[in-house]
């Protein structure tokens, strides 16, 4: 998904996997926005926008070009639009997952399990 700056030879990666628990299938076509908390005013700066593929993952080649440093990041999933495309209404118009990357981490995986009226996320491996 992306790399983190660190000592030579040490690269961290970030990956995201969205699953539709209503169908048990990957959440295809879900818009995902990645932002980083930056500056003295601690404002969110958008780094990229993507949509999940048929396997429920964002475009790996697009995301691999990002250089993620230690810091606080936010993934925003456009869940309301996704469920509308499925012909369903939903309670959550979007889901935001905020997390921290440290220099010691080599791999960060953020799964999102999604239904129209609930969601679950955790730190994956």
Which residues are documented as binding site?
Answer: 17, 57, 122
Residues annotated within the binding site for substrate are: 17, 57, 122
Interatomic CA distance for residues 37 and 21, integer angstroms: 30
The residue to which tokens 């958008």 are assigned: 46
**Beta strands at 25-26 and 118-121: parallel, antiparallel or unpaired:** unpaired
Could you list the beta-strand ranges (E) of 7-42: 12-20, 25-26, 31-38
Interatomic CA distance for residues 50 and 29, integer angstroms: 9
């Amino acid at each position: 998904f992306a790399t983190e700056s660190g000592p030579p030879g040490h690269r961290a990666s970030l990956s995201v996997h969205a699953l539709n628990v209503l169908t048990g299938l990957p959440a295809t076509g879900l818009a995902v926005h990645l932002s980083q908390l930056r500056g003295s005013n601690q404002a969110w700066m958008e780094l990229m926008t993507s949509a999940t593929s048929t396997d429920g993952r964002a475009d790996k080649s697009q995301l691999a070009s990002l250089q993620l440093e230690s810091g606080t990041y936010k993934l925003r999933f456009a869940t309301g639009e996704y469920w509308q495309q499925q012909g369903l209404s939903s309670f959550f118009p979007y889901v935001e997952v905020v997390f921290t990357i440290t220099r010691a981490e080599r791999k960060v995986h953020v799964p999102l399990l999604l239904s129209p009226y609930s969601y679950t996320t955790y730190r994956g491996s």
